[in-house]
Structure 1
Amino acid sequence: MDKNQFHTARGYQILEKNKKLLTASMEDYLEMIYRFCKVQGYVRIKTLAETLNVRDSSVTKMVQKIASLGLLEYKKYGIITLTQDGKELGAFLLQRHKTVEIFLKFISNGDYILKDVELIEHSFNPKLITNLEILTQFFEEHPEITDKYIKFKNNHLS
């Protein structure tokens, strides 16, 4: 057995962190910025702060960090817009969020879905997201199987 192939959960997190530039918080901000920009083309610091339930100063610091990666443009006291790379990454992050949310709604009883999505979406790799999309699409296209699953689940939870 190769001792180097196994890691603790924290070990895997550290390995993954070294592979990517964005933290989970940065991803959350970028996803929310994308949501606003998709509708109105921009977002303001104050709106983002209110939506994410954080202080304006926290948003400003995070926006500056994300801007330094070339994913958005920001002018002090102005508006925030996404670069093309920011739009592409934001679209992926939003799709990942929706995929995890749909999957969790399917397998859970509906309690704390948003909280669970926010806590786990950052640890899913793109291949797993693709597989979840395929699985949820399969269940949507086969309601008879979905009904069997729901009955099976309910029998085991009661």
Structure 2
Amino acid sequence: MLTPSMEDYLEKIYELMHDKGYARVSDIAASLEVQPSSVTKMLQKLDENHYVTYEKYRGILLTSRGQRLGKLMKERHHMLEEFLRVLGVPEETIHKDVEGIEHHVSPNTLQSLQALVLYFDDHPESLKGLQSYTAQLDVESSDQTDGRAT
């Protein structure tokens, strides 16, 4: 069973390998803002669970299982970002919110969110309707906050 921390590491390793062709302990540590010793401990756990092949001073390789899960974690992360963008969440909030949400969403909920994102991609008029509705709710909410009746 993957822990949220293991998922973050697999996602980061997958991302680094995809972008740079390799992942080093120092790259992972810098990206996740953790100490290299923490990365080494996690790599040992991931190796024990057959998600990576790790040999000190030799490098890190994702196993086929680790590759598959790393890709899934990256896709999940991207989809949640897109979902929050569709909802109009400010960019500066998206990253923080995705980090809080991504490890706690069931596969069924994730699939439903993905369907909604794809629906809005295929039906931009519906997205505009949602945006108008949301803007109207924001106006009503600010009117009530200002003490004005709506």
Pairwise same-fold verdict (TM > 0.5): yes
**1:114 matched to which residue of 2?**
95
Give the CA deviation at 1:133.
1.0
Assess if the C-alpha contact under 8 Å between 1:70 and 1:85 holds in 2: yes
CA distance in 2, matches of 1:72, 1:29: 11
1:52-131 counterparts in 2 under 5 A?
52-110=32-90, 111-131=92-112
Assess if the C-alpha contact under 8 Å between 1:33 and 1:48 holds in 2: yes
> Match for 1:113: what amino acid?
I
Give the CA deviation at 1:99.
1.1
1:30-41 counterparts in 2 under 5 A?
30-41=10-21
CA distance in 1, matches of 2:64, 2:18: 12
> Match for 2:109: what amino acid?
L
Percent identical among aligned pairs is 39
**2:145 matched to which residue of 1?**
none
Assess if the C-alpha contact under 8 Å between 1:41 and 1:81 holds in 2: no
Greater Rg by CA? 2
**1:13 matched to which residue of 2?**
none
> Match for 1:28: what amino acid?
D
**2:119 matched to which residue of 1?**
138
SS at match of 2:127: helix
Question: Unmatched 5+ residue regions in structure 1?
Answer: 1-20
Give the CA deviation at 1:128.
1.4
CA distance in 1, matches of 2:55, 2:108: 36
CA distance in 1, matches of 2:7, 2:131: 33
Assess if the C-alpha contact under 8 Å between 1:44 and 1:78 holds in 2: no
CA distance in 2, matches of 1:115, 1:62: 23
TM-score between the two structures when normalised by the length of structure 2 = 0.87
SS at match of 1:42: coil
Give the CA deviation at 1:91.
1.1
SS at match of 1:122: coil
Assess if the C-alpha contact under 8 Å between 1:73 and 1:83 holds in 2: yes
TM-score between the two structures when normalised by the length of structure 1 = 0.83
Give the CA deviation at 1:78.
2.8
**4+ residue segments displaced more than 4 Å:** none
